Chain A
């Protein structure tokens, strides 16, 4: 048995310690926001925040998490009450097929937690590991820029 703290809630899980976090989130906890893309840490669709760092959850062994807390897109808001960054993605219509978006949002959130109003250069450098095959990058940038504006 191990304890995972996800979006502030502790969960007791009876799983193999070498299970990647992504599978624990999707299969055990029913959190389907983070997606399986490449399984190789090359696309970023599975990105969640562990501690205060964005990580590829497909390559994150649950055994390595320890006492660090996990944040997924479900922790930012809901369909009815989207969080500030989620609302910015909606406002800018940043999703096309949407597969990369949960990962994009979580990587961007990690930046905004550290740098509330990032420059374009900071956003571009920070978002580099995450890919969008539909090519909505300019809208994703615009959404992050909007979320970085003081309310």
Chain B
């Protein structure tokens, strides 16, 4: 309730700011009007293999396909619903289809959308499209990505209309949002043509070069902070809390600044393996929205993924005893834990017991090392029990059946209490069946 009042107040403020920004709009955005089609010649078709490979790598790092695809047979054709605190936004078609995609877009149209969130016809894009990150991308990278997208199959497909709370369907409001929250990247720094320092190194580079490259990728194309940074009431990342974690599509996107506080502190190799394969044998398998991200990173350059791992590890904060954990004195009820143990031995032990083949073969880690079991918030543990990790057709992937139909809410709460007490040294979670019911009803990404 508090949140919704705050949200309403913030929206009012945004509305006021929009009038202000409306007048400033043309000043702040010199290219606010649609670009003339005839004025620029389309650069299609591009056949430069190196350019396309470069673009394909950036598309994999940016996991464009994850949000911009509904049917696997029609990649980049858009239409996927994205649940935000403000309503549902549907991703757009970024195939080269001329009517419904970006086939008519010139490179400069595309660059403007990536850097400033302005579509070819001049309408403002919602920041669910992470242009506040893509604004940091170099000219060369944007051009390569453009060439790659333009080389894809054109698909005719129009996304459903967005369903946003009043008054957010009024796109001019985004101009105000941009004034506050869009921090122009390389363009503003006048560095668009000198990016030698962020180019992909051909060889495994020095630590410093990896850090620079990793920071560029993570802040720019990979837009990790878009999910892993807490948002303010207007849906902008809180810059002071970068990478401190957030809840996204029903799942907790964990903090990326406490990787050394895991039961087995994350190492460079574990991180790189996790990012590239969706699995780290000292931590577990990617689930929820992160799984698709790792599936995209599978296609990214090894050197770049290692650079990202290097930069992520440089973000670590010194481990400090969390005040929340210290104060937490909740004791899980012993009867609940006992009930959870009974359920575990029938439903979970065949894979997760210490001597189960799933644990002893294939380097699967014990639940004791799992991120979800050791998290402050039980959300991802409950999400995993409810939804599992779905199969991915015949693709090789981690799998866990969901138990939403097997267990009642109270049983899932007891199972979680048992997992926490048996596998983690962290204090008990405070949770009951109402928490499980809430998560069950939440819309989420399986």
**A residues with CB within 8 A of B:** 17-20, 39-42, 50-51, 53-56, 58-64, 66, 128-129
Contact = CB atoms under 8 A, between A and B. Distances in A.
B371 to A, nearest CB: 22
A18 B346 contact: yes
B407 interface: yes
B415 to A, nearest CB: 9
Nearest to B349: A18
Contact of B351 (A40, A53, A62, A128): A40
Nearest to A128: B391
Given A61-B347, A63-B346, A56 B407 contact: no
Closest 3 CB pairs of A and B: A61-B346, A41-B401, A53-B405
Interface of B: 339, 342-343, 345-348, 350-351, 358, 391, 399-401, 403, 405-408, 411
A40 B408 CA distance: 20
7 contacts: A18-B343, A20-B347, A56-B401, A61-B342, A63-B342, A63-B346, A64-B347
Nearest to B401: A41
Contact of A54 (B350, B358, B403, B405): B405
Contacts of A63: 339, 342-343, 346
A19 B358 contact: no
B405 A55 contact: yes
A119 B95 CA distance: 29
A59 B406 contact: yes
Contacts of B345: 18, 61
B342 A60 contact: no
Contacts of A41: 400-401
B391 A59 contact: no
A64 B407 contact: yes
Contacts of A51: 405
Contacts, number: 58
A129 B407 CA distance: 18
Nearest to B339: A63
A129 B406 contact: no
B343 A42 contact: no
A66 B408 contact: yes
B405 A64 contact: no
B346 A20 contact: yes
A42 B351 CA distance: 11
Nearest to A110: B405
A40 B350 contact: yes
Contacts of B391: 128-129
Contacts of A128: 391
B346 A19 contact: yes
A66 B356 CA distance: 28
Contact of A39 (B350, B400, B411): B350
A63 B343 CA distance: 7
A48 B418 CA distance: 27
A129 B350 CA distance: 18
B342 A55 contact: no
Contact of A59 (B347, B358, B399, B411): B347
Contacts of B343: 18, 61, 63-64
Given A18-B342, A40-B358, A64 B351 contact: no
B406 A60 contact: yes
A17 B391 CA distance: 30
Contacts of B406: 50, 53, 55-56, 59-60, 64
Contacts of B346: 18-20, 59-64
Given A64-B406, A129-B401, 12 more contacts: A17-B342, A18-B345, A40-B358, A53-B406, A55-B406, A58-B350, A59-B350, A59-B401, A60-B347, A60-B406, A63-B339, A64-B411
A59 B347 CA distance: 4
Nearest to A22: B346
Contacts of A53: 405-406
Nearest to B403: A59
**Residue picked from B350, B405, B411, most chain A C-beta under 10 Å:** B405
Contacts of A17: 342
A22 B343 CA distance: 14
B349 to A, nearest CB: 9
Contact of B399 (A42, A55, A60, A61): A42
A17 B414 CA distance: 15
A117 to B, nearest CB: 23
Nearest to A39: B350
A39 B348 CA distance: 10
A55 B345 CA distance: 17
Nearest to A62: B346
Contacts of B403: 59
Contacts of A62: 346
Contacts of A58: 350
Nearest to B345: A18
A55 to B, nearest CB: 5
Nearest to A49: B405
Contacts of A40: 350-351, 358
A54 B406 CA distance: 9
A96 B339 CA distance: 41
